[in-house]
Structure 1
Amino acid sequence: MEQLPPVYCCHCLDCQTWSGSAFAEQGVVREDAISATGPIVDYRFTSPSGSESHQRLCGTCHTRLWNTNSARPGIAVVRAGTLDASDGLQPKLHIWVKRKQPWVVLAGDVPAFEESTSAAEFVAILSR
């Protein structure tokens, strides 16, 4: 990936569990923009909505790298902390803040949503 993607933070309980942290910081990119070297494991499962999720993990350390979902063809969600220049990322929005840990303080100038937001608003904010 040549350019850092726009990122958001999700504070839902699933993201807390999957990341092993207080929230997940994720970037949205075209699936064909991703390249990785080394062994990649593809963990697949069917979500409650019926879509198929593909979680890509490092085959050596099992760090979750990115995922795709049949409900969003051609789009990938990259774990922002796995990017080489992750220290240059600034989240553009926070979702599921009603589930955030009480000690997490959000910047007042970054949009925050109690739950999720509409797909159109999500894309508009990330595109700014």
Structure 2
Amino acid sequence: MKATIEGGCGCGAVRYVLALDRLPPTYACHCRDCQTWSGSAFNQVALLPEALLTVSGPVALCEVTGPSGRVSRQRVCGVCHTRLYSTNSARPGLVGLRAGTLDRSDALDVVAHIWVKRKQPWITIPDGVPAWPESAPPEQFAHALARR
């Protein structure tokens, strides 16, 4: 039997399972949109194949079309409105899982930082962790997420 990683919303109405043997690497996005959406200094995300995620419970959908025409589909708990994950037309087949919703979020590693030109001044990025002023070049970003 394959091991799984679990998580869910704040009220417990929505639970999910990831078909993974270990916690996924995560990245921090410091852009203003992520600061606003998360209500915090950055958004910590695990970028994963959508097929690895199984969700149960009342999930609500919020669609946002950006200036580029790309559609972001945010999934939140239909009861407590905890943001759980999103998909984006720019990266079909992938989900951006909100890392703080994992049951073991305290054991996660942040392996990359993007949009650091917008980061809060009190945040220090550790030496050796890749960081980009804006979005990372796709190949470099994939390489950073594959490192562990």
TM-score by length of 2: 0.83
Structure 1 segments of 4+ aligned residues over 3 angstroms from their partners = none
Counterpart check, 1:54 vs 2:73 = yes
Counterpart check, 1:98 vs 2:117 = yes
SS in 1 for 2:113: strand
The match for 2:144 is 125
SS in 2 for 1:27: strand
1:84 Cα deviation from its structure 2 partner: 0.9
Give the whole-Å Cα distance in 2 for the aligned partners of 1:37 and 1:68. Answer: 17
1:22 Cα deviation from its structure 2 partner: 0.4
The match for 2:59 is 40
SS in 2 for 1:29: strand
SS in 2 for 1:18: helix
Give the whole-Å Cα distance in 2 for the aligned partners of 1:39 and 1:47. Answer: 26
Structure 1 runs not aligned, ≥5 long:
none
- Give the partner amino acid of 1:38: G
Give the whole-Å Cα distance in 2 for the aligned partners of 1:68 and 1:29. Answer: 10
Give the whole-Å Cα distance in 1 for the aligned partners of 2:115 and 2:29. Answer: 6
Structure 2 runs not aligned, ≥5 long:
1-17
RMSD: 1.0
The match for 1:111 is 130
- For these two proteins, the number of residue pairs brought into alignment is 128
1:37 Cα deviation from its structure 2 partner: 2.0
Counterpart check, 1:19 vs 2:38 = yes
> Quick one: percent identity of the two aligned structures?
53
